[in-house]
Structure 1
Amino acid sequence: MLGRETSIVELEWIEDWPYLKPEPGAELFPDGAVRNWPSDSFEPPVIAPEYKKAGAFPQATRSVEYAFNGKTIPLDFKNLRGERDPEAYSLARRPGWLSLRGGQSPVSHWGQTLLARRQTDFSFKAETKLEFNPENFQQLAGLCWRYDETNQYLLAVTRDEKLGKVVKVLTMINNQFTQYDPVAVPENVPLWLGVTVHVSDGRFRYSLDGKTWKVLRPVLSANVLSDEFGGMGFTGAFTGMFCVDTVNHSVFAEFERFSYSVL
């Protein structure tokens, strides 16, 4: 779920061959030879007291609120498989907001418009504020919690032929798509979208004022967003923002903020 981490291990040279330098007290072979492979497991790094005292944590484990009032998109955010088109990912179109132009389907491997950051904690919450007025059901935007195209959860704002503008949960689990009952929301007003994850379970929620939240069904399994379930990736789960327009790739969704908080 949290992806695979890289690390640097010190080497030493023995008779012109590189060996992993063992830690003091490390187990050796009976003949005293050095093991030439890393340990099967390791303890995560301990947060130094000075970090705790200052209230600042290393990048991978901190709570952070992202504003979109600068000239560049924060480096924590990633997009899929290609150079980022500044017309589709724009901070200039509406100053103070991130404008995402609708891309291909959430299961497309080529032209999605998605901007997401890594899930770095087993328990977290992510929230965003969105302005989006879709014209039809082929236009949708919102908050994602995903592993890859075949395993992902979406909290989407879109349009229903009977209810008008709605918010609803979409799931893709092992390539099986399910959509849940839409909930009508007011036209032409911003929406706050959120996801809260406690280790193995997650829930989407939405708000009309950023204070009072309504939790949506179903309960989302975090196990789906893991290497063990998917088996083909290595980056771990991500959470972020997306915009889809399978009509003509022209509609824009605008996000004022995005926050990631460690629970």
Structure 2
Amino acid sequence: MQIQNPVLPGFNSDPSIIRVGDTYYIATSTFEWFPGVRIHASQDLVHWNLVKNVLDTTTLLDMKGNPSSGGIWAPDLSYADGKFWLIFTDVKITDGSFKDMKNYLTTAESIEGPWSDPILVNGVGFDASLFHDDDGRKYLVQQTWDHREYHHPFDGITLTEFDTSTMKLKPETARTIWEGTEVKLVEGPHLYKIKGQYYLFAAEGGTIFTHQEVVARSQSLDALSFEREPEGPFLTNFDTPNAYLQKQGHGALVDTPGGEWYYASLSARPWNHPTESATDPRGWSTLGRESSIQKVEWDEAGWPRVVGGHGGSTFVEAPKDAILTDAPADHSQHDDFTDEKLDINWNTLRVPFTEKMGHTGAGKLVLRGQGSLANTFDLSLIARRWQAFYFDAETKVKFDPYSYQAMAGLTNYYNHSHWSFIFITKNDDGQNVIEVGENKGGLRNGSYTSYFKDDAPVIPEGTEYVWFKSENRKESYTYYYSFDGQNWIATGITLDAAVLSDDYVVREYGGFFTGAYVGLAAVDYSGYDSTAEFDFFDYKELGDYQEADGSYSWKKSESRFY
């Protein structure tokens, strides 16, 4: 078998990979999306299944009011003493000199839970991980944040002993073990003990096209005792601009039962508009930061090296002892809303899906209109990741709004300031109409555009349901509507998909760590609780490559220019 990267397509970043027996687990960041921390499982490193969203109650996680791209940064999953340990960071401030955050610990004997009530660990810095030494001692390893304007904000990697008898850190043991290289922005540390030496893997360069992973090692855990790898970095795409995978870096190391080694890292697959240079901008990563896996070998001096070079490969040899894992061929999803609990692929923003938002079951999803899509407190939206460049999304909705302040329909969404929405609303003449709105760029919360304005299509009298469809085609997407589910009417509005990418948002806003979503939303900022009924949702992946004949297939080339 071959591993085809990315193994976790669509916004699945900062992978923390471990092996327990013959099963591999990857925990990934979820930022402001709820539930927090996705866990995928595999026995072959090739095929992966989403098995758990860990932080699925407000006892474990409450992010109401968190800024976009705040929330859960770089969770760390480990296994020791017969149980799983999960360290996670909840970031409350993303802009400016401060990064107020809290690091928590939760444990469980099974990956399915129950997970213990979180223990507050500290707030020294984000990207915290837990290292279990072979003498039984445990240490928190973390990026360290410095708000002082005359210092670099990334103040090295700090190690602090964790006391399992009190389940608290021992602050008096804290010391900086690694300051990073001249590239700076050192973060994402993971510590391992291999053949009697400590190896520190850390990310640098920021999670953009300058991203990289470096390795340092030491015979001890003393302050500043680590030496950097020669001929580094370990992994980067800074100098491989044509490679299919970009931004590789932040991740974790794992060994197989047979003694092979692999490294899971975040990555991205940018594309360019035909009118753009291929290197400036390097591209738009609308699927967000995804998880990829590279094979690792050790050189004669005992340093880890990525097989095939530090730029990594799209296709990687699978472990010799891999156990074939059954997993879906793609990530298509159809939901008739027959279950009273949302499907595992659905996310909400910052808080769980409750009766305040609506309910599901008996063949329909009911959403109660709350704030606008720019709201970071009260929002009735459920959404799922874009996980292929080419897909169709469709829904059927019944909605009778009071006024233009009420809206319900289908959305493509990145964050509070970058989204689009096709929806039912009411015009000034009291008629139910269809509108397409887009929020993007410019102001702090984006600038809003109504595309139909006073010429919005009127929904015929007696029409109970309206069907909406989004056709997403890598560089762009467009909306359609129908009054019978058979005959589709094009809106004629083509929207730039780049607006829903990290690379676009970073030009105007400090948070740029997630990825594009498609979903269902109801808005009623008048406060009159207009409700919408959704009959179904269908997300159908077409592939990530468009053939010359107009059909779609999954990627065949290692070059991003295909």
**Which TM-score band applies after superposition, normalised by the shorter structure?**
0.7 to 0.9
- For residues 48-82 of structure 1, the C-alpha deviation after alignment (integer angstroms, 9 at most, x for no partner) is xx99xx9x725xx3322111112212121111111
Correspondent of 2:532 among 235, 249, 253 = 253
Cα distance change on mapping 1:45 and 1:146 into 2, 3 Å? farther
Distance in 2, matches of 1:217 and 1:124, equals 18
Correspondent of 2:472 among 197, 210, 218 = 197
Q: Which runs of 5+ in 2 are unaligned?
A: 1-8, 20-191, 201-252, 256-260, 263-293, 318-323, 543-562
Distance in 2, matches of 1:41 and 1:228, equals 21
CA contact (8 A) 2:397 2:409 kept: yes
Aligned to 1:176: 447
Distance in 2, matches of 1:7 and 1:261, equals 29
Distance in 1, matches of 2:389 and 2:380, equals 26
RMSD value, Cα: 3.0
Aligned to 2:357: 88
CA contact (8 A) 1:2 1:235 kept: no
Distance in 1, matches of 2:405 and 2:347, equals 24
- 1:183 is paired with a residue whose SS is coil
Correspondent of 1:17 among 198, 202, 210 = 198
Correspondent of 1:165 among 423, 432, 437 = 432
Distance in 2, matches of 1:79 and 1:125, equals 21
CA contact (8 A) 1:130 1:255 kept: yes
Query: Which letter maps to 2:512?
Result: G
Q: Single out whichever of 106-115 and 157-166 deviates more from structure 2.
A: 157-166
Distance in 1, matches of 2:347 and 2:498, equals 22
- 1:184 is paired with a residue whose SS is coil
Aligned to 1:137: 404
CA contact (8 A) 2:471 2:479 kept: yes
- 1:216 is paired with a residue whose SS is strand
Answering whether residue 487 of structure 2 is matched by residue 208 of structure 1, we say no
Aligned to 1:227: 502
How big is the shift at 1:248? 1.6
Q: Which runs of 5+ in 1 are unaligned?
A: none
Query: Which letter maps to 1:3?
Result: F
Cα distance change on mapping 1:12 and 1:67 into 2, 3 Å? farther
Aligned to 2:17: 8
Distance in 1, matches of 2:514 and 2:451, equals 28
Higher relative contact order (CA 8 A, sep 6+): 1
- 1:223 is paired with a residue whose SS is helix
- 2:504 is paired with a residue whose SS is helix
Which structure has the larger Rg over C-alpha atoms? 2
- 2:377 is paired with a residue whose SS is coil
How big is the shift at 1:249? 4.2
- For residues 109-149 of structure 1, the C-alpha deviation after alignment (integer angstroms, 9 at most, x for no partner) is 11111011111111101000000011210110000001001
**Normalised TM-score (structure 1):** 0.85
- 1:108 is paired with a residue whose SS is coil
Identity of aligned residues (%): 25
Aligned to 1:123: 390
**Normalised TM-score (structure 2):** 0.41
Distance in 1, matches of 2:522 and 2:389, equals 26
CA contact (8 A) 1:4 1:234 kept: no
- For residues 199-250 of structure 1, the C-alpha deviation after alignment (integer angstroms, 9 at most, x for no partner) is 1110001011111111113211111111111132322111000001111241
CA contact (8 A) 1:2 1:122 kept: no
Aligned to 1:78: 347
Distance in 2, matches of 1:241 and 1:45, equals 37
Distance in 2, matches of 1:185 and 1:106, equals 23
How big is the shift at 1:17? 1.2
Aligned to 2:289: none
CA contact (8 A) 1:119 1:239 kept: yes
How big is the shift at 1:36? 7.3
